[in-house]
């Protein structure tokens, strides 16, 4: 994969998944795959495998801040991607830091529930996300279930997806990408909505049990592409193609919903 002479620094603020499939570990692998340099702050220590989430120990807003601020003093951060922000206090702290640092690219992946169904946030945290963080976001990337919860809209078809996207856009974010549409079909369809209108991006749906961390990985890939100067409409299809290659090349590890291959050999950023 082609890299720049100067690596862009991308900051990840997310939870820690010991199995390496999602959260900070998956994000950092993705950042490296896209030729950027990753730094990170951990918001929550989760206890999980590829099969199940057993619990989580959330950090305080202060410990998150003490991880982040020295990084801004040391690096020129051109993009930040947030994942699991488990409490309203952490959301407000992260939003305040982003606002004070004027980060050029902010991609918010509103992680609300694990793939296995473990609730990672509550209603107060969702409210804090939409009030404090979404208005600062270059892009918000909920999946269908997250979009329903955030927008308060039941999604049964593409019209429902569009209505949910409109509701999320009204929170003040610059753009929203709702992922995982057309469930049960042979295509994976995502809807992008911003001030320029709506666009639908579809790729072949790859049937696999190794889908752990696809949302984290997609959002991080887009953040890196934006950091490297790609437009949003250029970044989304490249990131989706990367996800497909990462799923197709999954190493088959773990006894449950296994990790992706974050360095798929057939993927070339330049194509």
What pLDDT is attached to residue 207? Answer: 86
Does the pLDDT at position 54 exceed 50? Answer: yes
Q: Where are the alpha helices (DSSP H) in 152-262?
A: 158-169, 214-227, 232-248
Answer with the residue of higher pLDDT: 90 or 112: 90
Q: And the tokens for 5?
A: 């002479």
Residue 56 resides in a domain: yes
The DSSP-derived string for 95-140 is: HHHHHHHT-SEEEE----B-TT--B---HHHHHHIIIIIGGG-SEE
Answer with the residue of higher pLDDT: 267 or 55: 55
Other CB atoms within 10 Å distance of the CB of residue 98: 22
Does the pLDDT at position 87 exceed 70? Answer: yes
With cut-offs at 50, 70 and 90, classify the pLDDT of residue 171.
very high
Q: What is the number of structural domains in the chain?
A: 1
Residue 29 resides in a domain: yes
Q: Distance (Å, rounded) from C-alpha 174 to C-alpha 20? A: 30
Residue 95 resides in a domain: yes
- CATH number of the domain that 209 lies in? 3.40.1190.20
H or E element that contains 89: helix 88-101
Residue 169 resides in a domain: yes
10-19, 114-123, 136-145: least confident range: 114-123
Model confidence over 214-261: pLDDT tens digits?
Answer: 999 999 999 999 999 999 999 999 999 999 999 999 999 999 999 999
According to DSSP, the residues that pair with 198 across neighbouring strands are 193
What pLDDT is attached to residue 70? Answer: 98
Mean pLDDT of 200-225: 93
Residue 216 resides in a domain: yes
What pLDDT is attached to residue 256? Answer: 93
With cut-offs at 50, 70 and 90, classify the pLDDT of residue 181.
low
With cut-offs at 50, 70 and 90, classify the pLDDT of residue 188.
confident
- Using the CB atoms, write b or e for 107-145: b if 16+ within 10 Å: bbbbbbebbeeeebbeeebbebbbebbbebbbbbbbbbe
Q: Distance (Å, rounded) from C-alpha 173 to C-alpha 132? A: 10
Does the pLDDT at position 185 exceed 70? Answer: no
Domain of residue 194 covers: 12-248
Answer yes or no: are the C-beta atoms of 213 and 17 closer than 8 Å.
yes
Residue 270 resides in a domain: no
Model confidence over 107-126: pLDDT tens digits?
Answer: 999 998 776 667 777 889 99
According to DSSP, the residues that pair with 16 across neighbouring strands are 23, 45
Q: Which of 159, 129, 170 is nearest to 146 (CA)?
A: 129
Q: Which of 3, 49, 24, 15 is nearest to 220 (CA)?
A: 24
Residue 176 resides in a domain: yes
Residue 105 resides in a domain: yes
Close Cβ partners of 73 (under 8 Å, ≥ 6 residues apart): none
What pLDDT is attached to residue 187? Answer: 75
CA atoms within 13 A on the CB side of 113: 15
């Amino acid at each position: 994969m082609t890299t720049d002479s100067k690596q862009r620094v991308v900051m990840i603020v997310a939870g820690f998944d010991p199995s390496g499939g999602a959260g900070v570990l998956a994000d950092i692998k993705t950042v490296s795959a896209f030729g950027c340099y990753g730094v990170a702050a951990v918001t929550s220590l989760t206890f999980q495998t590829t099969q199940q989430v057993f619990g989580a120990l959330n950090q305080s807003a202060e410990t998150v801040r003490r991880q982040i601020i020295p990084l801004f003093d040391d690096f020129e951060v051109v993009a930040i991607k947030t994942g699991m922000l488990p409490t309203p206090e952490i959301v407000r702290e992260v939003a305040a830091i982003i606002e004070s640092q004027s980060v050029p690219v902010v991609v918010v992946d509103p992680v609300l529930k694990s793939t296995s169904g473990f609730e990672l946030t509550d209603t107060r945290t969702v409210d804090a996300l939409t009030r404090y963080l979404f208005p600062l976001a270059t892009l918000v990337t909920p999946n269908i279930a997250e979009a329903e919860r955030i927008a308060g809209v039941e999604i049964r078809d593409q019209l429902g997806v569009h209505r949910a996207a409109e509701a999320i856009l009204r929170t003040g974010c610059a753009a929203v990408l709702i992922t995982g549409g057309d469930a049960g079909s042979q295509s994976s369809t995502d809807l992008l909505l911003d001030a320029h209108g709506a666009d639908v991006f579809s790729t072949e749906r790859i049937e696999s049990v190794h889908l752990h961390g696809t949302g984290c990985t997609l959002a991080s890939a887009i953040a890196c592409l934006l950091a490297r100067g790609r437009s949003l409409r250029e970044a989304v299809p490249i990131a989706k193609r990367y996800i497909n290659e990462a799923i197709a090349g999954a190493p088959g590890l773990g006894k449950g919903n296994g990790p992706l291959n974050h360095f798929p050999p057939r993927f070339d950023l330049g194509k």
